[in-house]
Structure 1
Amino acid sequence: MIRTVAETGSTNADLLAALRAGERAPEGTWLVADRQTSGRGRQARAWSDGAGNFMGSTVVRPGPHDPPPATLALLAGLALYETVSPLISDPRSLSLKWPNDLLLGRAKLAGILLEGQGDAVVVGIGVNLASAPAVEGRETAALSALGPAPDRDAFAARLADHFDRELERWRAVGVEPLLRRWQAAAHPRGTVLSVHEPSGALVSGLFDGLAPDGSMLLRLEDGSRRAIHVGDVSLA
């Protein structure tokens, strides 16, 4: 079910508040806003909205036998990738960047934010369909640069469908196929990356795939591999 509102602070915040209030938001519920006044990205960054862009959130209720909830960011990324690929003439220009970005060339086209509440996870997704917000220090892109902007409501329906399919696969066959498919859609192994860790440290190395838990593996200069569980990743 997709519910649309004209304006709200944040679709993630709305669903989190509903869950805290004891509302039974079933899995598969989507809340989509025409405008957001307090949109957020990872690490508390503000994320500007834009008329005609997609701004929405959904609820997932991981079970005790499901893969790790953290891998839902990778699942959402794949759902986004599969939704956007048919809309552009050269899908090779699309790539996933760990843990939560979809890139067009080197520019950010879409982002994902996961937040937990009780036994539920709210997955927020923002996609630049019509316009690209200005983000300090980051290149951004919109699909409208390649042709007419996709219709927001049609895009929402396709994304919800792809997300449901990926969720079924995640539960049915586990995380290994998800990791393989995510890596096939990501920038290639050997890509030079820099990671700003929560401590403030900067780590640079070569992308070396994903670990079984979904963390990113970085090949360091001395040849060792380091698992990155949290961090802000940029292409060098």
Structure 2
Amino acid sequence: MIRTVEETGSTNADLAARLSGGEYLPEGDWLVAERQTAGRGRLGRIWNDGAGNFMGSTVVRPGPGDPPPSSLALMTGLAVHEALLPFVPQGAALWLKWPNDLLLSGAKIAGILLEVVAGTVIVGIGVNLAAAPDIPGRAVTSLSEYGPGPGRDAFAEALAASFDRELHRWRSAGLAPLLRRWQSAAHPVGTRLTVLPPGEEAVEGSYAGLSQDGNLLLKLDNGTQRVIHAGDVLLASAPD
């Protein structure tokens, strides 16, 4: 079920409040906002407004035998990728970027924010369908810059169906197939990246894939390989 509200602070915050209050939220239900006034991205960034864009949240209830909940960021990225792909114009590349961004022709078009409340994972997704917010120092785009895109409600239906399929695959097939599919939809191996690990100086290197548990592998310029467990990742350039 998809429930739409005209305006809210944050769909993630709304679901978090309901969970904290003891309400049971079933998987498959979505809260979608026409407008957000206190939307958030990763690392505390603001991600507001954008009338005509998709801004919504749902929940996942991890259970025994499920892959690690941290891999839900990768699973969600695949779900958004699959939902967006039919609307991407010919000649424009849609790439996943670790851990939870989507890039269209090198510019951010979608982001994902995961939060855990009362043992439940809240999955927040923002997709620039009609307009791109101004983020200093970051290339950001929307589908509307390439021509007519889907309406918000039509995209919401497509995303909900894609998310349901990917969640089933995540549970039934496990982590390894997910990582293979994620890497096939990501920017190419060899893409230059700048990584900002928490509390450290920037680290530069080349994308070398994912580890067996879904962490980023970065090949440093001295030939060694570093496993990135957390951090902000900036795309420098694709390989020649």
| Distance apart, 1:201 and its partner CA | 1.7
Q: Is the 8 A contact 1:85 1:91 kept in 2?
A: no
Task: Compute the TM-score of the two structures, normalised by the length of structure 2.
Answer: 0.96
Measure the CA separation in 2 of the matches of 1:102 and 1:118: 28
Pairing 1:149–2:149 present? yes
For residues 19-30 of structure 1, the aligned pairs below 5 Å read: 19-30=19-30
Of all paired residues, the percent bearing the same amino acid is: 63
> Given residue 145 of structure 1, which amino acid in structure 2 is its aligned partner?
E
Contact 1:112 1:124 in 2 (8 A): yes
**Contact 2:87–2:149 (8 Å) recurs in 1:** no
Aligned to 2:150, what secondary structure does the other structure show? coil
- Deviation for aligned residue 1:92: 5.3
**SS class of match (1:36):** coil
* Inter-partner Cα distance in structure 2 for 1:91 and 1:47: 28
Match of 1:175 in 2: 175
Question: Does the residue aligned with 1:190 lie in a helix, a strand or coil?
Answer: coil
Residue of structure 2 in register with 1:211 after alignment: 211
Give the root-mean-square deviation of aligned CA atoms: 1.0
CA–CA distance in structure 2, aligned partners of residues 91 and 123 of structure 1: 30
SS of residue matched to 1:116:
strand
Distance 1:233 1:169 in 2: 27
The match for 1:195 is 195
Partner of 1:106: 106
- Paired position in structure 2 for 1:4: 4
Paired residues for 1:1-236 under 5 Å? 1-90=1-90, 93-236=93-236
Asked if the contact 2:62/2:120 (under 8 Å) is kept, the reply is: yes
C-alpha distance in structure 1 between counterparts of 2:91 and 2:73, whole Å: 21
CA offset at residue 89 of structure 1?
2.5
Aligned length: 236
Q: CA deviation at 1:91?
A: 6.7
1:225 is displaced (CA, Å) by 1.3
8 Å Cα contact 2:95/2:185 also seen in 1:
yes
Distance in 1 between the 2:5 and 2:26 partners? 18
